[in-house]
Structure 1
Amino acid sequence: MKKLLTAILIGWVALSTTACKHPGKEAEAIASTAPENTDNITKNVYTDSYGEKIEVTINTTKNTATIHLDGKTYDLKKSDALPEYTASNEEYQYSDIKGNITFLKKNVDMVLFHLKKDKKETGPAKMASY
């Protein structure tokens, strides 16, 4: 009887240890990764003298500009024929020419946003004396 009880106990221990093993790295889920965004994107927020804010997102890879003004979004395409950075669509035009930022409605020549950036003033020039 003692041998039978020992055999049952060893069998039960062996069965319980093999049944409780968790699969290790085999059950690891492979997460799909999103492709990396290789676009060259710059985002700027400008505030004019009246306190209006315009958010400009420029994607130089796709040659597009997205403008957010007064809760509306405008998608524009870069215009190569115009100077410096200028983007437009059928109705609107955005330009950043020598620090003058202008967003206007083309068909009525109405300026929706204008900002002239102040040039950063530098301190007095230091000259070396010999």
Structure 2
Amino acid sequence: MKKLLPTILLGLAVLSSTACKHPGKDAETVTATTPETKDDISKNVYVDSYGEKIEVTINHSKNTATIHLNGKTYDLKKSAALPEYTASNEEYQYSEIKGNITFLKKNVDMVLFHLKQAKKESGPAKMASY
């Protein structure tokens, strides 16, 4: 019986140690889902002949334009009635028509920024032979 007692105690110790262990909680994975925006955004920086720089960010999905000029920001809405890309609000108008970029103050007809981009030169012209 004396030999049986340590074996029983050892068996109880093993059973009690395994019985007390709980399966560890799985670490909760929290994923912050940010809604992916599929906005079509284009951003351009133009410098005119006087060295003034204008930064134009156009959101084609929301039909808005954000203009940064001389430390100020202007938010404009696309005008469907005007040609090519033209955006305006009550005071300002931005237009990009055939390479001419113009930003003006409407009520006083004052041009704040104007740039006429040079046309891109194509490669050597191929002439047709008859």
| TM norm structure 1 | 0.81
- The partner residue of 1:2 within 3, 6, 11 is 6
The number of aligned residues is 126
Q: What's the CA shift string for 1:18-53, capped at 9, x where partnerless?
A: 24x4323xx323323111212222211111112221
1:11 aligns with 2:15: yes
Pairing 1:87-126 to 2, within 5 Å after superposition: 87-126=87-126
SS in 2 for 1:108: coil
SS in 1 for 2:7: helix
Asked which structure has the greater CA Rg, the reply is 2
1:64 aligns with 2:64: yes
Residue 34 of structure 1: aligned partner? 34
Residue 23 of structure 1: aligned partner? 25
Comparing 111-120 with 45-54, greater Cα deviation is found at 45-54
Tell me, in whole angstroms, the C-alpha distance in 2 between the residues paired with 1:88 and 1:128. 46
Alpha-carbon distance, 1:5 to partner: 4.0
**Structure with the bigger percentage of helix:** 1
SS in 1 for 2:93: strand
Q: What root-mean-square deviation, in Å, do the aligned CA atoms of Structure 1 and Structure 2 show?
A: 2.3
Tell me, in whole angstroms, the C-alpha distance in 2 between the residues paired with 1:2 and 1:129. 109
- Matched to 2:102, the amino acid is T
Alpha-carbon distance, 1:63 to partner: 1.6
SS in 2 for 1:83: coil
Which runs of no fewer than 5 residues in structure 2 stay unpaired? none
Tell me, in whole angstroms, the C-alpha distance in 1 between the residues paired with 2:43 and 2:31. 30
| TM norm structure 2 | 0.81
1:45 aligns with 2:49: no
Q: What's the CA shift string for 1:70-106, capped at 9, x where partnerless?
A: 1111011111222111111111110001100000111
